[in-house]
Structure formats: C-alpha cells, structure tokens
Amino acid sequence: MPIATVNPANGETLKTYEAMDEEELERRLQLAEATFRTYRTTTFAERARLLNRAADLLDEDQREIGRVMTTEMGKPVKQARAEAAKCARAMRWYAEHAAELLADEEPAAADVKDSGGARALVRYRPLGPVLAVMPWNFPLWQVVRFAAPALMAGNVGLLKHASNVPQTALYLEDLFHRAGFTEGCFQTLLVGSGAIDDILRDERVKAATLTGSEPAGRAVASTAGEMIKKTVLELGGSDPYVVMPSADVDRAARTAVTARVQNNGQSCIAAKRFIVHTDVYDAFTERFVAGMAALKVGDPLAEETEVGPLASEQGRSDLEELVDDARRGGAAVLCGGERPDGPGWYYPPTVLAGITRQMRIHREEAFGPVATLYRAADLDEAVLIANDSPFGLSSNVWTQDEAEVDRFVRDLEAGGVYVNGMTASHPGFPFGGVKRSGYGRELSGHGIREFCNITTVWHGA
C-alpha cells in the first residue's frame, strides 16, 4: 500500500511519500536508543512541562489538524476537531497524574519483616523505545493515548502509522518536537507494513503496542513472542448494545444512533449489535431506524455533515459484502443497504434485522455505519446473543433494574460494561478487551504501567 493521502470524499490522491530507506531507519533507531539513555533520567515535572506544552500547541492547531484528518480519512470535521481537543485533555491528564500513578510503593511491613528485610519498595522504571503500530480511524487519539503515558513514564516512542494518514503521522512528530521534546523522544517512521517485523526484531526496540486488525495483531504478537517482548493489543470489536424493558427507550434509541455511526461507523468500540428485549423491540426499532435514516450524509468538511465517506474503497467493498451476504441469507434491510451514485467511498447508514448465526455479519466486525438488530426473549437470551461473538471489547446495557445490571456486569464477556450510555474512552479508565479483541490495557494507571519494568527493591536487615 503506498504511503499517501487519498481524499476518501472523491478518491483524489493529494500527496505521496517515499518510504524511509534502511539508512534513515537505522539512524532513527540509533537516535531512539541514545535518547532513552538520557530521557529516562528526567523528572516527572520536566516531562509534564513538555507534555503540557504539546497540549497547548495541539489546542492552537485544532482547526488545521482537524481538516488534515478529515481529508486523509473522511471523518466529519467537527468530530476531527473534537478528537484533537480530546487528545490535548489526555495529555494534560497524564501530565498531572503520572507521578502519582508511578510513585514508589511500599509493601506491607509484615511482609518485609517476614522476608528478613529491613525495608522494601516497588519502583516503576521505563523499558526503552516502544514501537506503536497505529490505525487510521482515530489518527490522533490512538497515538496520543499511547504516547502521553509512554513519554510520562520515561519511554521513547517509535510510530508506524497507517499508510493512508501520513500527514497526521508527521504532524505528531513535529508537535512533540515543537513542544520541546528532543528529536529522539518521539519519531514517526514512514515505512510500509512489511518493515514492522524487522523493526520489532531489533534489540533496541523493547516492546510494542498495536491497535488494528486481528491479522495485524496476530503478526505482531507472533514476532514479539518469538523475541520475548511485551505487547499490548487492541483489536476489533463487535460490541453489543442491550436494551431491556425498563430502559428509557427514546433515549436508548437516540444514543444508539450516535453509538453506531460515530466516526462514520469506523470505530472498534462502536455499538454494532443491537439486542433488544421483545417487549420493547418494536418501539426501539421504529425510533432507531428513523434516526439512522435521517442522518445527514455528505462532504465531511461541511459543518452539518453527520456521516462522511468510508476511509477507503476496500473498506466500503468489505462492508458491502457483509450486507449482501446477510441479505442473501434472509436478513431484512430496514434502511440503507445500497451504495449511492457519485464520487467518494460513501455508504448509507443501514439497519439489518433477522440476523442468523450463519451470516458473516454475525461473527465478523462491520466497520462502517451498518447496524444489526436482534430480538431477545429475556435476559438470559440477551446475554447469550451478546457473548456469541469472537470479540469482547466493550458493551452497552440499558436497564433501570440493578439486579439486571449486576447480572450483565458479571456475565458479559467484554473489557467494559457501559450502563445507560454509550462506550467512550477516557484517560482515567482502563481500555481494552478480551477474546479476539486483544489483551493488555491502555489509559489510566493500568495503561501507563504496561510498559514499565516493575522493580522490587529490597534491603536486608
């Protein structure tokens, strides 16, 4: 895949970039290793000063970088600006909280005495250069939620971004440099996916994090396992959205529309499978379908647009195949389902009902504005349908019954359970999944400690 900006609204190639040659890649790996030796000794206060400066610059650049993201991958420009603002807030959160999250810990005095020691502590130390393999769908946020905690922990970052967002990738490198981080603290590697294996095998690279597809996760995990290197993987999702009879159906339906089509439906944590109790199925479906059909689809640079084009022609083709397979299997298309005429990789908000286990869309992730509806007879069947997926990233539950909440929290196979609201990531909460959605956690204290050497320091009596 070429490293290029191709506008998904019209298919026009705007900029192309040559991949770095081996000499330049080697220079950057050397620089990362050398920089880490000194950067690891900086104080939390100094790191926080630099990260807060990066946040200020990002706020200043919000409109400009918002247009760049929209031009590269098609998200509505209002959502792009909101993504930039969210990144700045996350930077400030880690600048404020990292010292506390990574403070030395003292084991229980009784355990120290029992070990025969006089004193002991647990210290969090950085690992070194960390490779981040990042996707195009949230081209700023996915990177910042790695970079902010990694830099605050004393690590340095090497970014291999998706090949269709090179301008955003280069912007991130420039942002951290303008903020005052030395050149080797954060570097963008303009290379193709074929270079990832060799980079990960390099002894100077100590760990890796990947957000992306299941095949990409398997490849990185396989190499990292062979090299015995730590990885964090955030892969696909097909999140359930369960609506029970006690729910506020109007609010649940309105929120469901946003939960499905945020980022043009290209979000791992977007709700994709809507599992509705039979008592409220008809009422929810009527409101949900009407909301999906009423969405404004169009130019992503227009302020009024709610759904823009998919990021690539291949992505649209993949989505169409899932819808066509479901249609052939007997699914009902309640709205959408047909590619529009004209330029760009647009696909309309679509709702499918009558889904069966034999349909591909039941077990595969639909990465675009396509929702599937399921009718559940009771709570037991709702849980069964929700868990009948290879993925387990997050989940959404709508109910006013606390006993039902407890049951869903206990039984849903997911990294998050959001009650009476839609899934959203926040730096204060751990983020990640189970099953084929990956392993490890990003964000919060759990995320910043993923790439730390958790060191026991023991002193004899």
* Catalytic-role residue among 268, 306, 364, 404: 268
* Catalytic-role residue among 72, 83, 173, 234: 234
Structure tokens at 233: 């993987």
Whether residue 445 contacts residue 101, with contact meaning beta carbons closer than 8 Å, is answered with yes
> Does the active-site annotation cover 185?
no
Pairing of strands 350-353, 332-335: antiparallel
Whether residue 315 contacts residue 367, with contact meaning beta carbons closer than 8 Å, is answered with yes
Instruction: Give all strands of the β-sheet with 207-211 in edge-to-edge order.
Output: 186-188, 156-160, 129-133, 207-211, 230-234, 438-439
Can you tell me the distance from the alpha carbon of 123 to that of 58, in angstroms, rounded to the nearest whole number?
32
At a CB cut-off of 8 Å and minimum separation 6, what does 361 contact?
A: 322, 323, 325, 326, 331, 352, 355, 370, 372
DSSP state of 264: G
Whether residue 449 contacts residue 460, with contact meaning beta carbons closer than 8 Å, is answered with no
| Range list of H helices, 154-213 | 166-179, 196-201
Helix 77-101 vs helix 141-153: crossing angle, to nearest 10: 20
> Does the active-site annotation cover 234?
yes
- Mapped onto helix, strand or coil, the DSSP state of residue 25 is helix
Per the listing, tokens 């330049």 go with: 24
Of the candidates 288, 253, 245, the residue with the CA atom closest to the CA atom of residue 378: 245
> 3-state SS of the chain: helix, strand, coil percent to 5?
45, 20, 35
Instruction: Give all strands of the β-sheet with 239-243 in edge-to-edge order.
Output: 332-335, 350-353, 370-376, 271-277, 239-243, 396-398, 418-419
Can you tell me the distance from the alpha carbon of 110 to that of 301, in angstroms, rounded to the nearest whole number?
62
DSSP state of 306: S
User: Which neighbouring-strand residues pair with 232?
Assistant: 209
User: Which neighbouring-strand residues pair with 381?
Assistant: none
User: Which neighbouring-strand residues pair with 5?
Assistant: 15
Catalytic residues: 234, 268
